[in-house]
Amino acid sequence: MADFVLVHGAWHGAWCWKRILPGLWKAGHRAFAVTLTGTGERAHQLSAGITLRTHIDDVAAVIEAEELQGAIVVGHSYGGMVITGLADRMPQRIARLVYLDAVVPEPGESWSSGHPAQTQAQRRQAIAATGSIPPADPAAFGLAGDDAAWVARRQTPQPGGVYDDALHFDAARVEALPRTFIDCNAPALPTIAMTRERVRRQPGWEVFEIATGHDPMISAPEELLRLLLAAAAA
């Protein structure tokens, strides 16, 4: 039996893992889907004071409260920033990091670091105006029909304070952990392009591909579940 901690990406919440959790439970694993402060069912907590550290604290609190040891921590998209900071803080509590089409930062980088200049400008403008970043069109994640409508209904603004918040961490400490990157490339989300190249250049990465869009927990849950179960068996 393994313990999974699932960390969603921007604009999402624990709700996005709805098609993954039953399969993990059925296989005998424990799985905890975290909703980060200011998003999902915690959207009422949205404030200018939310930082990357707030979200790292959210996940660390679950690990502490559930007394998890050797957890497989999965971070989707922006969640890659969060799980990297978590791994720097408590590496002894983590068995593997799984970056699900996620940001893989280097020390001193922020979520915004890998984004094109136009994306940075648009998001900073939104943050200056409202304190948050409005949700992306689910079509950008390769979703259509009922899936796109479901995601559009559930998405909430992303706290603006996390966008340019640099993450400082001990790279050697994080790189000592087993790390998996799952590349979802049909269609490939442009803001993950730098990460896709990075993990293929650096040693120590296990890389898998799923021919689906950026939200595989919604568009390809069976294939994603298979990879997560394989990570538990490794």
Tell me the catalytic residues.
77
Cα–Cα nearest to 31, from 22, 43, 41, 40:
22
Residue 153 has phi, psi (to 5 degrees) of -65, -35
77 three-class SS: coil
Query: What Rg, from alpha-carbon coordinates, does the chain have?
Result: 16
User: How many H helices and E strands in the chain?
Assistant: 9, 8
Measured distance between the N- and C-terminal CA atoms of the chain, rounded to whole angstroms:
12
